[in-house]
Structure 1
Amino acid sequence: MTDARLLGSDIPLAERYDLALVDLDGVAYRGHEPIDGAAAGLTGARAAGMRLVFVTNNASREPESVADQLTSLDIPTQPADVLTAAQAAAALLGTRLQPGAKVLVVGGAGLVTAVRAAGFTVVTSADEQPDAVAQGFSPDLGWAQLAEAAYAVAGGAWFVASNLDQSLPTARGFAPGNGALVGTVVAATGVVPDSAGKPASTMYEIAVERAGAREALVVGDRLDTDLAGARTGGFAGLHVLTGVSTARDDVLAAPGLRPHYIAADLGGLLVPHPAPEAGAEGWWTCGSAAARVSAGRLELAGPGPTSVDLVRAACAAAWASVDAGEELDPASVPDLVVTGEGDAVGGTGR
């Protein structure tokens, strides 16, 4: 997956790929609330033969808790179907530490459980001279725990973060994520941690190996974590527009952050994805939508409201222009508001 363009599929993605690596916050749910189309999309994907593994940068919760929440939202899930950044962090610790090594855990119950399950001794104070510090998100994390982490890291302990997400979506908006909290320890010590979570592809690789998958599809809402991890690991990535990153972000994305497919929501697993085609006078078309870059400005055309094909055409035009060394004025890229699978608002007449 080294060609940073959109892909096309003439069959539904749930039929093309045998495993979906699905992010949680902003994809399957938002905080404790369901996302429209998520349960139907995932249920339909399973019915088509696609296996689901929920891969999350959230390290605070146990897989059992995540599975229970998904099940309550009409997405039946077993704990074995969940892979957390806490589990990935514990696996990363195992690449350098021997069983029994002392690890200062700064985070929630999920990280504590994962570190213990990997055979390490969990400690709570820098005075115990831990071999490593493992930091993950917890809404209860406070100054005292961050201070212990700083003391230990400054004393030479290996610093490992479950992930570096700067924000996380909640029902009330975006809140500080683990990366923001890790930044406190970095500011105090000058030490940048190794990270186990996305955009590293570690979790994806673990999930694929466990599932014995033929070909996996990453599904996420964030370009800088979910989709960057897909590009890094060589997996195809579907960006659903229900979370952090927007359609405008897709159009302006650097090659390493670009999705391979775009959909309004998880209903995108159940439909074919047409590939944009290059046409005359620099226009790229996808369905009835079209886009081009002329004199450094993005131009859009098509009936409105139009399908998500408008976003696909805009991405194809913008990416081709930028990759050819041409300038693209970001101010010419509008906020394309996608309202549901197959519906988008934006564009100008051609």
Structure 2
Amino acid sequence: MLDLDGVVYIGGSAVPRAPEALAAAREAGLRLAFITNNAARPPAKVAENIRNLGIEATAEDVVTSAQAAARVLADRLAPGAKVVNLGAAGLREPLDAAGLIPVAVDEDAEAIVTGYNPELLWKDILRAAVRIKDGLFWVASNTDMTFPAAYGIAPGHGVLVDTLRRFSGVEPVVAGKPSRPLLEETIRRTEAERPLMVGDRLDTDIEGGHNTGIDTLLVLTGVTGLEDLVAAEPHRRPTYVSADLGGLLEAHPAPETDGTAARVGGWTAEVRDGELRVTGEGTADDWWRAAATSSWAHLDATGTVVTIGAQAVPPRPDADGGTVVSAS
């Protein structure tokens, strides 16, 4: 189950090596699903954007938080139930598919669903807030506070959710990551027996995997860096870590540990006087495994996050993303 931004693409370009890695994964027999907290775009549009990057994808391969939200509502309401839709077209389609009837904010309804909608009017937000406070069942597609727009980092749907929550005192049922519905809907659709959540964010992708009880793979092509990883609490620690999606095709050896020391693939990571040090040589992926394991052992033992020493700088991978120069 692949997050998109920072994993498959960045902006309008594919992440380096992602098309090749995903093609090889399909060839090896893996089923790929592309999942997104974005509730504004229909799956067909998401799949089209992925194909334009040279990556095989159909609408059936895409699962959105809007579809997960519709599932939450369909499980609670009878067919034909009316639902106030404060989202864009990406939300209306799955409501229709679930046999629910989208209606305007002033109409009789059994529930309300909110999603990112740049054309939403303030008067409709006001009416929705009052109806939620008065007890109308509320599902939010996601709580992402920001999203990357062409003009910079812009407020996401989470800003609206926070506004409605603070006014009404009501917590919505959230469909998107890190809550469970989006991942559970993906598992249901794909009939996955050994699902793996692949993402670049600890607080949505990896935490979402933990909440769902499945393994996770963190790729380091997006927002997570060394400072984030060494400070991760247990519920945000990935099962596996890799520089990029090439990690789908490789073995992931577990580091040998001794206190806060971790050794794997030619690297030794240890914490001395609260400072992380990594020495040796090997692959970039093994460097990250050693550094993370050592740092987490120190955090669990002392309750303090390591400082990053001069010898703990992520190595530069070669052109194939593999062997790296010595960092001793």
**TM-score computed with the length of structure 2 as normaliser:** 0.89
8 A contact 2:95–2:102 mirrored in 1: yes
Residues 194/76 of structure 1: CA separation in 2 closer, same or farther (3 Å cut): same
Counterpart for residue 60 of structure 2: 80
Does structure 1 residue 33 correspond to structure 2 residue 13? yes
Counterpart for residue 274 of structure 2: 296
Counterpart for residue 288 of structure 2: 311
Counterpart for residue 286 of structure 1: 264
Equivalent of 1:97 in 66, 70, 77 = 77
Q: 2-side partners of 1:170 and 1:268: how far apart?
A: 29
Q: 2-side partners of 1:318 and 1:98: how far apart?
A: 50
Percent identity of paired positions between Structure 1 and Structure 2 = 43
Counterpart for residue 6 of structure 1: none
Equivalent of 2:242 in 240, 255, 263 = 263
Q: 1-side partners of 2:100 and 2:49: how far apart?
A: 28
Deviations, residues 81-119 of structure 1 (Å, cap 9, x unaligned): 111110100111123222222211112111111112212
- Name the aligned partner's letter for residue 60 of structure 2: A
State the secondary structure of the residue aligned to 2:32: strand
8 A contact 2:231–2:305 mirrored in 1: no
Does structure 1 residue 156 correspond to structure 2 residue 135? yes
Residues 145/292 of structure 1: CA separation in 2 closer, same or farther (3 Å cut): farther
> 5+ unaligned residues in a row in structure 1: which ranges?
1-20
Residues 107/85 of structure 1: CA separation in 2 closer, same or farther (3 Å cut): same
- Name the aligned partner's letter for residue 230 of structure 2: V
Q: 2-side partners of 1:172 and 1:272: how far apart?
A: 40
8 A contact 1:90–1:115 mirrored in 2: yes
- Name the aligned partner's letter for residue 55 of structure 1: I
Q: 1-side partners of 2:49 and 2:118: how far apart?
A: 17
Deviations, residues 246-269 of structure 1 (Å, cap 9, x unaligned): 232122110011101111221221
Deviations, residues 218-257 of structure 1 (Å, cap 9, x unaligned): 1111111111111122211011112222232122110011
1:303 positional shift = 4.8
Counterpart for residue 234 of structure 1: 213
Residues 172/255 of structure 1: CA separation in 2 closer, same or farther (3 Å cut): farther
Counterpart for residue 133 of structure 1: 112
Q: 2-side partners of 1:93 and 1:333: how far apart?
A: 50
- Name the aligned partner's letter for residue 173 of structure 2: D
Deviations, residues 286-325 of structure 1 (Å, cap 9, x unaligned): 2222211233332222359x623222111111212233x3
> 5+ unaligned residues in a row in structure 2: which ranges?
none
Q: 1-side partners of 2:309 and 2:95: how far apart?
A: 45
8 A contact 1:293–1:318 mirrored in 2: yes
Residues 174/192 of structure 1: CA separation in 2 closer, same or farther (3 Å cut): same
Residues 111/338 of structure 1: CA separation in 2 closer, same or farther (3 Å cut): farther
Counterpart for residue 98 of structure 2: 118
Counterpart for residue 16 of structure 1: none
Q: 2-side partners of 1:27 and 1:174: how far apart?
A: 18
Deviations, residues 169-219 of structure 1 (Å, cap 9, x unaligned): 456654332212311222332222110111122222222232223312111
Residues 43/128 of structure 1: CA separation in 2 closer, same or farther (3 Å cut): same
Does structure 1 residue 326 correspond to structure 2 residue 302? yes
Residues 135/337 of structure 1: CA separation in 2 closer, same or farther (3 Å cut): farther
Q: 2-side partners of 1:107 and 1:298: how far apart?
A: 46
Deviations, residues 7-38 of structure 1 (Å, cap 9, x unaligned): xxxxxxxxxxxxxx111122111233322121
Counterpart for residue 8 of structure 1: none
8 A contact 2:39–2:64 mirrored in 1: yes
Counterpart for residue 188 of structure 1: 167
**TM-score computed with the length of structure 1 as normaliser:** 0.84
Spell out the pairing of 1:55-74 with structure 2 (5 A cutoff).
Answer: 55-74=35-54
Q: 2-side partners of 1:285 and 1:330: how far apart?
A: 17
Equivalent of 2:225 in 239, 243, 246 = 246
Q: 2-side partners of 1:170 and 1:270: how far apart?
A: 32
- Name the aligned partner's letter for residue 286 of structure 1: V
Counterpart for residue 108 of structure 1: 88
Deviations, residues 96-153 of structure 1 (Å, cap 9, x unaligned): 222222211112111111112212221122x213321111123444534433321321
